[in-house]
Amino acid sequence: MPGPEHKFTPDDVETILALCDTVIPAVSVSDLIARVPGIDKEVDPATLAAFAAEVPSKNAKYVKEINDLFPSVVSPEKLVELKQVVWLLRNKVGMLVLSGGLTPFHELSPAEREKVLLGWKTSRIPAFRKIYDTFTKVAAGFYMRNSTIGHAAMHYRPKETPAPAEGHFQFQFLKPAELDGIAWDAVVVGSGSGGGVVAKQMAEAGMKVLVVERGQHFDHGEIYSEATALEFAYDGAGFGSNDGGDVAVIQGKVFGGGSAVNWAASLQTPAKVREDWVKSSGIKYFQSPEFQDDLDAVFKQMGVSAPTHNTQNQMLLEGARRMGFARADVPQNTGGGPHACGHDCANLCRSGGKKGGVHSWLVDAANAGAKFITGADARRIDFDTKKGRSARGVVLRFNDGTEKYVKTPRVLVCAGSVVSPALLLRSKIPNSRIGQSLYLHPTNYVHAVFDHATRPVDGQILTSVVGEYADLDGQGHGVRIETGCMQPVLAMCLLQWANGAEAKARILKHPKMVGCIAIARDAKPGKVTIDKAGEPIVDYTVANVDNKSIITGTIAAAECMKAIGAKEVIVAGRGVPEWREGDDWDAWVSKVAASTPGGYGSAHQMASNRMGSSTSNGACDPTGAVYGVRGVWCADASVLPSASGVNPMVTTMAVAAKISRGIVQAWREGRVETKPSKAKL
């Protein structure tokens, strides 16, 4: 059996590349022309021939990333699992279990390998489906990261967004040695949507604030390709997932957090969700004028304004109009200015026009005296047990493995709904609710192909929403349809793999695609636990009720696309072939309705440390303070009572503003603890 070392052996790499060459194989030019009629007129012959012949194992950059990057972005425990699977694929007994044959995978013919992969796709055994999900996504994702030939064949040549003028704000960051001997009024763990708000408000009140970020800062005067951004700005290089491997969990890991990679969508909490939260949490704040004031203040701070629709957003709105579906514009946090950067908005904001943390809240925090340090992973909160288990410091671990102890009586945990509960669990806080109510907004991708150019990466990414099925149970649980980011890695690796030849054909179809997402407000949560090393595990299974919502949205998105002339519709559900013009629509819809959950994504993680009026319904009290200890608050999306139903950035910022007001008031009164007002319960 393989050893636990955190790397792949040459034999491992040989087998992984055999899998990748199966997902993205060499095909004939004639096969591509048959699958994409007219492509020989749209792509020059040399490029088309090179693209048809290219396989991952012959791409030096690809091979290097499989050797170096891939093993570095998964946890040690997951790497051991991967190595065990690869080991099984290399020996006869393992292949007998995994495929029913005796030939090692790398020795099979291309056709035989493809048959094995397709068998895993529809297997009743979850472990087999996990292998399929993992390796098809890895193969496609790393190919789209590294293939210049693939980019040329799909006409992916994004225009550079102009860099901001000279004089843009320059952040200063502390070095680890500069932390010695300093006691802080508050340490903020995480610099995202919640962390930026609390840092600004506490610093402006005069508190000595340190913001700790485990990711790095990238100046917005630089341009970042999708590949570079995924590697350096996302957890696990964008390849994170739930423990079952069937939901891709995409989290920002960069200065500015999720607000830095959010697609600029800025939506306030829906009324049904506010009502549901008051009932489930016992906290009246969510239906109060105070909450609305906080939401409005967030809009004002970021200059949230009406959008300008690109082609794919116009097409979604027109499709919804033709179907008679409720639809609306999605405001943007772009300060009222233009922000046509669909090719790099998810890669951090080059222009500085997106007013998330880095270009708004954190700037104000810095100007008010807050200090920042990056590359610092908060491993544990330290408590004084003689003073009622009161916070007294945080242990930080840096990229080189060294650790520093930072003194503070107040810790604001704002690291996101996966990382925040992991920190609290590592800190051994006596609170059984921590990590126990994780919501993911599970999302399915729907791609439509047209007979004309759609330029899906031009313009703003997400400026429209279809809310026809947003409330399927009377409690605000349902599904919304929006447009998705169509950068190559995200657009292509989230689609379910059909076969090798079709995978390459779909790459060529990209310039004529519209990408939609069906995003559910999930009714049933999962949880966050930690492994032996203290790293987070996302234990989440898409419940039947939520899968029904996703399927409803998937079909509705497909109907919108068909209504405006789609020639082909591709969905990410397992076992569902693409629909092509002329096929039986009703029969295809029936297949979608009966499809197996899987291949979903999540860009919104929420509620894992939810606030509640008591320990029976929350990990945190109505002020955000963690039950069971003193001096620790959650002020990120993890504190929301459940899924927000819409992009949670604005809601998170509003709630963080409320939480930080309470902390500032207590500090001014010489207290650490915040006291919930009975009027707000």
> Which residue type sits at 192?
G
Helix (H, G, I), strand (E, B) or coil at 210: strand
Token pair 């099925």: residue: 469
Is 359 annotated in the active site? no
To the nearest 10 degrees (0 to 180), the angle between helices 10-23 and 110-121 is 80
CA distance 404 to 175: 11
Residues 6+ apart with CB under 8 A from 297: 654, 657
For helices 226-233 and 126-146, the axis angle rounded to 10 degrees is 130
Q: Which of 151, 309, 477, 604 is catalytic?
A: 604
Contact 552, 472 (CB under 8 A): yes
What's the token pair of residue 673? 């603890």
CA neighbor of 372 nearest in space, from 351, 396, 348: 396
CA distance 8 to 12: 6
Residue 181 is encoded by which pair of tokens?
């001997």
**Strands, DSSP E only, in 422-523?**
443-449, 464-466, 479-483, 513-520
- CB distance 415 to 425 below 8 Å: no
Q: HEC profile for 354-377?
A: CCCHHHHHHHHHHHCCCEEEECEE
Residues 357, 163 contacting (CB under 8 angstroms)? no
Q: Which residue is it, tokens 């790393």?
A: 142
What distances in angstroms separate CA 360 from CA 197, 199, 357, 363, one per listed residue?
9, 12, 5, 5
Instruction: Give the other-Cβ count within 10 Å of 501's Cβ.
Output: 18
CA distance 72 to 60: 18
Q: How wide is the angle at C-alpha 114 spanned by C-alphas 109 and 119, nearest 5°?
A: 130
Supply the residues annotated as catalytic.
604
